[in-house]
Chains A and B, each alone.
Chain A
Amino acid sequence: MNVAASARGRLALWLFFGLLVVFLYAPIVILIVFSFNDRSFVSFPWQGFTLRWYRTFLSNSALLVALRTSGMIAISTAIVTVALAIPASVLLVRRRFFGKPVVSAVMLSPLVIPLVVFGIALLILFNTLGVPLSPATVAVGHIVIALPFAALTLIPRLERIPVWLEEASRDLGATALTAFRSITLPLLMPAIISSLLISFVISFDEVVIASFVAGDEPTFPLYLFSQLRLPRRLPQVIAVAVVVMLLSGVLVIASEVGRRLSDRRFDRELRAPETLDEQLGEVMA
């Protein structure tokens, strides 16, 4: 007998599951479909297939500039975030030191701070220091909120890499840095790539912090926000939204799948599971 649910219960649960998937995906599908509707409102009736909204946005220079600004911010955010997250994660996984719980709490606290609060705190900081607002100040904020996500991607992978690999290389005469660079870093690479992608997507999508510290060069989400007041611009905004949504979706899903596959392969190669429990754990993970 299946303890979790009766046959009818399972049917009901699967039905619910299906409905929820429809609920989650219907708005996205509707957005995509209507981005091809040849009508100046994003609504019924359907007046034929067109690519004109995609052409319009490709010739809208303000929009393209905003996309480029956001792209630059997101790339810098991704690189700096991961560059900071790697040493921090190594420290948290490999070293014992005084105040470690405090350090990891600080590391994770940007996850729970309301973004509005953090946005104004940054605004006050930059005002106090007299730093003019620019895309760079936006990147500073995005790095803070992306850091915990990057660290949480790196740490589990780092825990899987046994310390003795690095120790063996040290015994064979490598310096700490060489050992890290030639052993740990390559093994960490899948997690590094996914944390780069995740940081990029977080930054590219972020609007609240940007609304406080962007100055007069709008990021893509800010531009999008300002255009919502103009119904005439809506169809092209929708077209660009579709492109961005699909691209970011593909990026993140590819990195998630890649990371899981490589984690699994890595576990198989490195560690012959000793007990049944561990084998089960492996299958689950």
Chain B
Amino acid sequence: MGYLVLFFLVPVILAACYSVGLLTLLPNDDYLSVQPWRDFLFGSVYLGVFWRSVEMALIVSVGSVLLAYPIAYVLALVAGRRKYTLLLIIIAPFLTSYLLRVLALRVILQQQGVVNSFLRTIHVLAADESIPWLFNSRFAVYLVLIYVWVPFVALPIFVALENLDGALLEASSDLGAGRWRTFLTVTLPLSTPGVIGAFIFVFIPTIGEYVTPLLVGGPDNFMFGNAIQGAFLAGFDWQFGAAMSMFLVFAVGLLIAVFGRYLNVRAVAE
């Protein structure tokens, strides 16, 4: 516990202090100033990057949930005894390396990649041609992030559906409701907490996403994580970067304050 306070809470608090100049590290840092915050909130393109990241994260979360829901439904309500084996097949990719899976998709999508070179081999594309939207594009970021998240999203939805009392479904059917009606009025509402939990679990890390936009998105599709990283490692404006990251922490904190009760972490772990 002490370890977490020392190496988790303290650094985050230090970063907050640093963003307003309570603490200075570099020679050109401002002392006691809200300048970095003012720059960020009023004078920069970075707030725009933030909202773009929010929009992209929304699309990714909705996409992952839409793909994962039928999967969780099959596993929980249709698969019967084989469901745990099948669940493991779905989540196994999630348990292996995230970075290497992004790399795999990069190799497939890039200009000299598997898809483009295949289309060239069968002469659908000319020798120096490639599909523009396939790589260094918004589409690539969406595809890769959804690819990465789907197994993870299926998990909390699966747990919610599995804890559903089967008798409720039968009661609904006995009372004359068709399958769609049962689904819409019983199953779906009862699994909503799992869906919202899954949504938040994807949405939060995706806003600050950094690796995927860098590897397959190209500079035009950089997200907030790239902006923060740029301020630190390329721009050397640490205070500005700290202000941006604290802004992200507040945004995330707000989300958790509102939706925290849906975050059933235990469901995900077991």
Contact in complex: B84, A260 (CB < 8 Å): yes
Contact in complex: B121, A253 (CB < 8 Å): no
What are the residues of chain A within 8 A of B169 when measuring CB–CB? 3-4
Contact in complex: A24, B98 (CB < 8 Å): no
Interface residues of B in 2-60 (CB under 8 A from A): 3-5, 7-12, 14-15, 18, 23, 25
Contact in complex: A112, B256 (CB < 8 Å): yes
User: Is A174's beta carbon under 8 Å from chain B?
Assistant: no
What are the residues of chain B within 8 A of A109 when measuring CB–CB? 8
Question: B205: nearest residue on chain A (CB-CB)?
Answer: A114
Contact in complex: A120, B90 (CB < 8 Å): no
What are the residues of chain A within 8 A of B263 when measuring CB–CB? 112
Contact in complex: B117, A41 (CB < 8 Å): yes
Contact in complex: A253, B92 (CB < 8 Å): yes
> Could you mark each residue 114-144 of chain A with 1 if its beta carbon is under 8 Å from any beta carbon of chain B, else 0?
1111101111110110000000000011011
From A14, A116, A221, A284, name the one whose CB has the most chain B CB atoms within 10 angstroms.
A116
Question: A283: nearest residue on chain B (CB-CB)?
Answer: B81
User: Is B131's beta carbon under 8 Å from chain A?
Assistant: no
> Could you mark each residue 72-88 of chain B with 1 if its beta carbon is under 8 Å from any beta carbon of chain A, else 0?
01100110000010101
CA distance A224 to B211 in the complex (A): 12
User: Is A256's beta carbon under 8 Å from chain B?
Assistant: yes
> Could you mark each residue 196-215 of chain B with 1 if its beta carbon is under 8 Å from any beta carbon of chain A, else 0?
00000000110110110001
User: Is A51's beta carbon under 8 Å from chain B?
Assistant: no
User: Is B258's beta carbon under 8 Å from chain A?
Assistant: no
Q: Identify which of A58-66, A164-172, A204-212 touches chain B.
A: A204-212
What are the residues of chain A within 8 A of B105 when measuring CB–CB? 27
Question: B170: nearest residue on chain A (CB-CB)?
Answer: A3
> Could you mark each residue 230-245 of chain A with 1 if its beta carbon is under 8 Å from any beta carbon of chain B, else 0?
0100100110010011
User: Is B229's beta carbon under 8 Å from chain A?
Assistant: yes
Known contacts: A207-B211, A228-B215, A248-B97. The answer to whether A21 contacts B120 by CB under 8 A is: no
Contact in complex: B172, A3 (CB < 8 Å): yes
Question: Do most interface residues of chain A lie in helix, strand or loop, or is the interface mixed?
Answer: helix
What are the residues of chain B within 8 A of A118 when measuring CB–CB? 8, 11-12
Contact in complex: B25, A127 (CB < 8 Å): yes
Which of under 10, 10 to 19, 20 to 34, or 35 or more describes the interface residues of A?
Answer: 35 or more
Known contacts: A120-B241, A121-B11. The answer to whether A24 contacts B265 by CB under 8 A is: no
From B18, B114, B211, name the one whose CB has the most chain A CB atoms within 10 angstroms.
B114
> Could you mark each residue 259-285 of chain A with 1 if its beta carbon is under 8 Å from any beta carbon of chain B, else 0?
010000000000000000000000010
- Partner among A28, A44, A201 whose Cβ is within 8 Å of the Cβ of B95: A201
User: Is B70's beta carbon under 8 Å from chain A?
Assistant: yes
> Could you mark each residue 114-128 of chain B with 1 if its beta carbon is under 8 Å from any beta carbon of chain A, else 0?
101110110000000
- Partner among A4, A152, A249 whose Cβ is within 8 Å of the Cβ of B96: A249
Chain A residues near B (Cβ < 8 Å): 1, 3-6, 9-10, 13-14, 16-17, 20-21, 23-25, 27-28, 30-31, 34, 41-45, 84, 88, 91, 103, 106-118, 120-125, 127-128, 140-141, 143-144, 147-149, 152-153, 155-156, 201, 204-205, 207-208, 211-212, 221, 224, 228, 231, 234, 237-238, 241, 244-245, 248-249, 252-253, 256-257, 260, 284
Contact in complex: B99, A17 (CB < 8 Å): no
* B236 vs chain A, min Cβ distance (A): 12
A107-B4, A112-B205 are known contacts; what are 6 more A-B pairs with Cβ within 8 Å? A43-B118, A116-B245, A120-B232, A123-B232, A124-B242, A244-B100
Question: B85: nearest residue on chain A (CB-CB)?
Answer: A257
Contact in complex: B96, A248 (CB < 8 Å): yes
User: How many residues of chain B get a CB closer than 8 Å to chain A's CBs?
Assistant: 88
* B194 vs chain A, min Cβ distance (A): 15
Contact in complex: B104, A31 (CB < 8 Å): yes
CA distance A263 to B10 in the complex (A): 37
User: Is B228's beta carbon under 8 Å from chain A?
Assistant: yes
- Partner among B7, B104, B207 whose Cβ is within 8 Å of the Cβ of A141: B7
Contact in complex: B74, A13 (CB < 8 Å): yes
9 sample A-B contacts, Cβ–Cβ < 8 Å, listed by A number: A4-B73, A20-B150, A28-B93, A31-B104, A43-B117, A88-B1, A152-B265, A241-B103, A249-B93
Contact in complex: B150, A221 (CB < 8 Å): no
Contact in complex: B269, A156 (CB < 8 Å): yes
- Partner among A43, A123, A237 whose Cβ is within 8 Å of the Cβ of B116: A43
Contact in complex: B120, A121 (CB < 8 Å): no
CA distance A31 to B101 in the complex (A): 9
- Partner among A5, A34, A110, A140 whose Cβ is within 8 Å of the Cβ of B107: A34
User: Is B137's beta carbon under 8 Å from chain A?
Assistant: no
Contact in complex: B70, A122 (CB < 8 Å): no
What are the residues of chain B within 8 A of A125 when measuring CB–CB? 7, 10-11, 14
Contact in complex: A121, B15 (CB < 8 Å): yes
Contact in complex: A144, B266 (CB < 8 Å): no
* A11 vs chain B, min Cβ distance (A): 10
What are the residues of chain A within 8 A of B11 when measuring CB–CB? 118, 121-122, 124-125
Known contacts: A112-B204, A245-B96. The answer to whether A117 contacts B245 by CB under 8 A is: yes
Please list the 8 inter-chain residue pairs (A to B) with the smallest Cβ-Cβ separation, ordered nearest first: A114-B208, A152-B269, A43-B117, A121-B11, A4-B77, A125-B11, A44-B117, A249-B96
